[in-house]
Amino acid sequence: MRRRFQTRLQHPAQIVATGFGTAILVGTALLTLPIATATGESSGWLTALFTATSAVCVTGLVVVDTGSHWSVFGEVVIAGLFQVGGLGIMTMATLFTALLAGRLGLRTRIAVATETKSVSVTDMRRLVRNVVAFSLASEAVIALALTARFMIGYGEPLGRALYLGGFHAVSAFNNAGFALWPDNLMRFVADPWICLPIAIAVIVGGLGFPVVFELAKTWRHPSRWSVLTRITVVVTLVLLAIGTLFFLAAEWHNPRTMGALDDADKPLAAFFAAVMPRSGGFNTLDIAHMNPSSWLFTDLLMFIGGGSASTAGGIKVTTFGLLAFIIWAELRGEPRVNVGHRRLPESTQRQAMTITLMGVVLVAVSTYGLLLLTPYSLDRVLFEVISAFATNGLSTGITAHTSVAGHVLLSLLMFVGRIGPLTLGSALALKERTRRYELPEERVIVG
């Protein structure tokens, strides 16, 4: 029996999925304890499960107010869950193995390569140490900036300021979107000393560790950047610029969002709104009162998400960029897809198209299911579904009011979105098959 179980978990993707599932179960168990709530009464398994799933999957969707419902113990548990979820279960497991055993097995190195999207499985111990060190250092810098602002600008005592700064720094860098105020960050909409550090943390955390490490070494020489770094940086900057301009135009006169702000504060609010669909999940504008056009545009940004091997969700900006090159090559009739001075392998093209198509199908099916379970309109339900799939956390305000079945559906969607459609599909396959022959080719009419 034990040997059969080990055989079924030999595929790295299976190990990653099992690790995330285990973390969710542990978090659920901790959050069901009476000590985890402010009232001292158990929250019940569904609330605990949804919150634990949202935290581990670094989503940020909630069915209860984080700051008032949970105790300090519960908030610390939630912060720990999205810290673990952001770094990756396999990354944490490999770090502990490296520190305790001093050496890593091949299976463990392959598992971490699957989680971090690393091209090579060599020297995985150093990779994991760099990832963890960079993450903790980034969170510490953002936490200090926020702590100083809470003390100087809002008169918070040192202990409370440190707690607020640390919680939101970890939440921002891991693109978790959990906040300790009922209105998320709407009270800070005009405060650049709060909004900008959180936005920077979301952007850096959403770039992806391979891109960040490469930029740290070659930021002065863009010509040396890899295809991954070029696509990630360019697409990210383009989406941020377009997003900022769009929200400025769409919400400038909306009295329930930007209309009430001073003109000088509107660019900051628009920039923050453009950053958060990367998978940040925070909001300084009332999402529920945005124009429908802003909802649709946010849907698109959330679905694209952030960088590969990052704490962000979505199909990833790399996938989106690769699809653009694939389409451009097809329109020009070129037999090969080239990115800069590099040729894109056919396997990478298939992977990009598979991830995108699986994401579209999953969102469509889940939207239809949630429509059957809730009385809300299509635009609100679609927004919620994409937010869950992209592990984003932005909401039009209907999450807490959906049915039990709706909460279960969104929980499953967050789990699948965090693991990744392709990774989860691989995890469900009991074994890989290698075709030892080729079939005759036949042209098929397309379109």
Which residue has better confidence, 94 or 22?
A: 22
The answer to whether the beta carbons of residues 191 and 146 sit under 8 Å apart is no
Q: Does residue 64 carry a pLDDT above 80?
A: yes
Q: What is the pLDDT of residue 114?
A: 56
Cβ contacts of residue 396 below 8 Å, gap of 6+? Answer: 287, 288, 295, 380, 383, 384
The answer to whether the beta carbons of residues 271 and 244 sit under 8 Å apart is yes
The answer to whether the beta carbons of residues 66 and 90 sit under 8 Å apart is no
The answer as to whether 341 is a domain residue is yes
The answer as to whether 446 is a domain residue is no
Q: What is the pLDDT of residue 216?
A: 87
Mean pLDDT of the chain: 86
d(CA 89, CA 67): 26
Residue 339 identity: V
For the segment 7-22, the average pLDDT, to the nearest whole number, is 69
Q: What is the pLDDT of residue 5?
A: 45
d(CA 296, CA 203): 22
* Residues 319-356 pLDDT 10s: 999 999 999 998 888 888 888 778 888 878 888 888 89
Residue with tokens 């740290």: 216
- Nearest to residue 279, comparing CAs of 392, 179, 178? 392
For the segment 292-308, the average pLDDT, to the nearest whole number, is 94
Structure tokens at 216: 């740290």
Q: Does residue 104 carry a pLDDT above 60?
A: no
The answer to whether the beta carbons of residues 175 and 205 sit under 8 Å apart is yes
Residue with tokens 């609100």: 380
- Nearest to residue 408, comparing CAs of 437, 445, 366, 368? 366
Residue with tokens 């965090």: 418
Q: Does residue 90 carry a pLDDT above 60?
A: no
Structure tokens at 63: 């069915």
- Please give the tally of structural domains in the chain: 1
The answer to whether the beta carbons of residues 353 and 323 sit under 8 Å apart is yes
d(CA 230, CA 220): 13
d(CA 271, CA 205): 17
Distances in Å between the alpha carbon of 421 and those of 47, 173, 352, 360? Answer: 25, 23, 11, 10
Q: What is the pLDDT of residue 131?
A: 84
Residue with tokens 């952007």: 203
* Residues 422-437 pLDDT 10s: 565 555 444 455 667 7
d(CA 16, CA 135): 20
Gyration radius (Cα) of the chain, Å:
22
C-beta neighbour count of 92 within 10 angstroms: 21
The answer as to whether 445 is a domain residue is no
Give me the percent of the chain exceeding a pLDDT of 70. Answer: 86
Lowest model confidence (mean pLDDT) among 64-73, 313-322, 348-357: 348-357
Give me the percent of the chain exceeding a pLDDT of 90. Answer: 61
**In 19-35, which positions are buried (b, 16+ CB within 10 angstroms) versus exposed (e)?**
bbeebbebbbebbbbee
The answer to whether the beta carbons of residues 130 and 144 sit under 8 Å apart is no
Q: Does residue 121 carry a pLDDT above 60?
A: no
- Nearest to residue 318, comparing CAs of 219, 420, 410? 420
Which residue has better confidence, 92 or 56?
A: 56
Distances in Å between the alpha carbon of 69 and those of 74, 235, 278? Answer: 9, 39, 27
* Residues 162-203 pLDDT 10s: 999 999 999 999 999 999 999 999 999 999 999 999 999 999
Residue 358 identity: M
Q: What is the pLDDT of residue 15?
A: 72
* Residues 227-278 pLDDT 10s: 889 999 999 999 999 999 999 999 999 999 999 999 999 999 999 999 999 8
Range of the domain at 82: 2-425
When pLDDT is cut at 50, 70 and 90, the band that residue 155 belongs to is very high
* Residues 128-146 pLDDT 10s: 788 888 999 999 999 999 9
The answer as to whether 432 is a domain residue is no
The answer as to whether 433 is a domain residue is no
